């Protein structure tokens, strides 16, 4: 814009402001007398209203006031900054909220399950919720939308679920009253407990978050479940990391799990022991699933395959770990759809809990299963596959694996899961990564030197 035009505009604006100031003074004088009368009348009406309100609404007792505050705080959270269209219309505890909770949890097929999915806005949680909903089960999500990784990805998953009428209640596992409220409203048949503080290496940065979610949060959930009537059957996410320094291969459920290499692994192992206790004392049916490095579309940005993709596309160098004796590090990478089938299989074969209202009435089922792919792949090979799919060479930086909780190698024996619920992984790493990359470039709107035909060979993700 030319300079003279700016000067002219600012002069006009100043003149306008001055005129409006004069008009204001004039009108104030005229209105002064009448506004006094208006003010007195308003005061009188306000006094009458306060009196009427005091007669109809006596003061709240302390506990009611606290409850109201609690609900208000929560409803504020759920209608706050990140509110989605759905949460804003039904604050926690209100009639509209209860209706949504009930609708979401009600099965649409005869004898369908009613499942509370914790961590429903997470990677595995969102996929499982959609799969359960698709076959007509009732699904209520639960998630605290924390910012361990970009919460906008969790919000995008939430939108996906809402399109399928799956409602996610925003709350924390450690919020006992909120969880109890959910069980007051819905007689859940199952809990699929996937909410957790994930990530092996982050445990050195923020150890307390692992205790808060994976131990305190899990115990809180079990406390609520054991007291519920009926008690739900619980299927929950343990981890391949519980094998820690185990050297027997492939990892089988009978192998040692008392040598965790990270605090993360230790909290998952603790979860397995805690599960034993609640099964033993209260008759809760509990199934732990040891997931092996799950990957795929809508995955977790903190995992190597995800941030390698990002860094390769941005031309940033990536660290590829090697063991202390300079061997390749390998993982039994498992594709998300296989994991979903495993979770659903575990839910379908979970027996009912035997207790009710906090009392055990008989022996209940207690199970642990490996859910892996049964074919470990070196991290270097993972990177080559990504390079091929992205049409870009990675800047590889080979380094010794830092002593940060990582283990050199994982390999699942899944024969137990196969025997009990037909678990059979069918997606190899190349096929799974193709689906991941296709999703990634679409989701982030990237136009790199990606060979489009790379993605169409195997159908859509
Ligand atoms: O299976 C499991 O139990 C665990 O799988 C993953 O943990 P991890 O296998 O360590 O997965 P990534 O963090 O994605 O690492 C994959 C591989 O890449 C390697 N890596 C990681 C980061 C890096 O910069 N460079 C690198 O070579 C790791 O050593 C590992 O072998 C998840 O992050 C855990 O939450 C989960 O419980």
Predicted local confidence at residue 451, as pLDDT: 61
Probe ligand 1: pick from 288, 304, 307, max atoms within 8 Å of CB? 304
Q: What is the mean pLDDT of residues 188-204?
A: 97
Question: Which pLDDT score, from 0 to 100, does residue 430 have?
Answer: 98
391 contact partners, CB below 8 Å, separation of at least 6? 448, 449, 450, 451, 454
Helices (H) and strands (E) in the chain, counts: 16, 13
Helix axes 379-390 and 304-313, enclosed angle (nearest 10): 40
| Half-sphere exposure of residue 437: CA atoms within 13 angstroms, side-chain side | 33
Instruction: Write down the pLDDT at residue 40.
Output: 59
Q: Could you tell me the pLDDT band of residue 297, with boundaries at 50, 70 and 90?
A: very high
Q: What is the pLDDT of residue 419?
A: 98
Residue 403: predicted pLDDT: 87
Active site residue 202: no
Atom of ligand 1 nearest to the CA of 318: 24
Q: Is the confidence at residue 453, as pLDDT, over 80? A: no
pLDDT band at 16 (very low <50, low <70, confident <90, very high): low
User: CA-to-CA distance for 235 and 291, rounded, in angstroms?
Assistant: 12
Per-residue pLDDT at 111 exceeds 60: yes
State the catalytic residue, choosing from 202, 264, 295, 305. Answer: 264
| 296 vs 86, higher pLDDT | 296
Provide the token pair at 41.
Answer: 């009348």
Q: What pLDDT band is residue 43 in, cutting at 50, 70 and 90?
A: low
* CA terminus-to-terminus distance, the chain: 49
Mean pLDDT, rounded, for 107-135 = 98
User: Radius of gyration (Cα) for the chain, nearest Å?
Assistant: 28
CA 303 to centroid of ligand 1, rounded, Å: 6
> What is the three-class DSSP state of 399?
strand
Output phi, psi for 410, to 5 deg: -135, 145
Greatest extent of the chain over all pairs of C-alpha atoms, in Å: 93
Coil, strand, or helix at residue 289?
A: strand
DSSP letter string, 178-224: HHHHHHHH---SEEEE------SGGGGT-HHHHIIIIIIIHHHHHHH
Is residue 6 over pLDDT 80? no
Q: Which atom of ligand 1 is the closest one to the Cα of 320?
A: 27
| pLDDT tens per residue across span 138-155 | 999 999 999 999 999 999
Does residue 225 register a pLDDT over 70? yes
Q: Which two tokens stand for residue 359?
A: 């009392």
Tens of pLDDT, residue by residue over 324-352, are 999 999 999 999 999 999 999 999 999 99
Measure CA 138 to chain center.
Answer: 18
Length of the chain: 461
| DSSP H or E stretch at residue 6 | helix 3-56
């Amino acid at each position: 814009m030319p300079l003279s035009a700016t000067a002219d505009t600012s002069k006009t604006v100043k003149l306008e402001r001055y005129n409006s100031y004069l008009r204001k003074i004039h009108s104030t004088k005229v209105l002064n007398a009448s506004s006094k009368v208006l003010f007195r009348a308003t005061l009188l009406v306000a006094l009458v209203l306060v009196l009427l309100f005091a007669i109809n609404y006596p003061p709240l007792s302390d506990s009611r006031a606290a409850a109201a505050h609690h609900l208000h705080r929560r409803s504020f959270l759920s209608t706050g900054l990140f509110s989605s269209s759905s949460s804003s219309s039904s604050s926690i505890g209100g009639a509209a909220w209860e209706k949504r909770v009930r609708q979401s949890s009600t099965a649409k097929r005869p004898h369908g399950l009613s499942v509370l999915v914790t961590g429903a806005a997470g990677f595995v949680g969102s996929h499982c919720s959609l799969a359960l909903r698709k076959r007509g089960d009732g699904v209520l999500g639960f998630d605290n939308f924390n910012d361990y990784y970009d919460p906008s990805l969790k919000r995008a998953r939430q939108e996906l679920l809402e399109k399928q009428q799956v409602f996610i209640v925003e709350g924390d596992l450690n919020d006992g009253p909120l969880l109890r409220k959910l069980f007051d409203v819905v007689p859940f048949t199952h809990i699929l407990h996937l909410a957790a503080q994930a990530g092996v290496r982050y445990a050195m940065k923020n150890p307390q978050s692992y205790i808060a979610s994976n131990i305190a949060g899990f115990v809180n959930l079990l406390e609520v479940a054991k007291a519920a009537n009926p008690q739900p059957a619980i299927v929950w996410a343990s981890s391949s990391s519980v094998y820690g320094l185990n050297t027997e291969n492939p990892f089988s459920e009978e192998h040692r799990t008392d040598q965790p290499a990270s605090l993360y692994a230790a909290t998952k192992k603790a979860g397995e022991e805690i599960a034993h206790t609640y099964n033993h004392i209260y008759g809760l049916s509990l199934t732990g699933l040891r997931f092996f490095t799950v990957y795929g579309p809508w995955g977790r940005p903190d995992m190597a395959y995800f941030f390698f993709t990002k860094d390769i596309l941005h031309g940033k160098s990536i660290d590829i770990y090697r063991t202390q004796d300079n061997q390749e590090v390998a993982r039994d990478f498992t594709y998300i759809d296989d994991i979903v089938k495993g979770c659903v299989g575990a839910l379908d074969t979970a027996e009912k809990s035997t207790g009710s209202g906090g009392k055990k009435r008989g022996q209940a089922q207690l199970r642990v299963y490996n859910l892996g792919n049964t074919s470990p792949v070196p991290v270097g090979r993972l990177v080559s596959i990504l390079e091929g799919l992205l049409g870009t060479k990675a800047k590889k930086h080979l380094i010794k694996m830092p002593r940060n909780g990582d283990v050199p190698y994982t390999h699942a024996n899944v024969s137990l899961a196969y025997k009990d619920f037909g678990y059979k992984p069918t997606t190899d790493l190349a096929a799974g990564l193709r689906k991941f990359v296709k999703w990634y470039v679409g989701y982030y709107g990237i136009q790199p030197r990606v060979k489009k035909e790379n993605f169409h060979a195997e159908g859509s993700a």
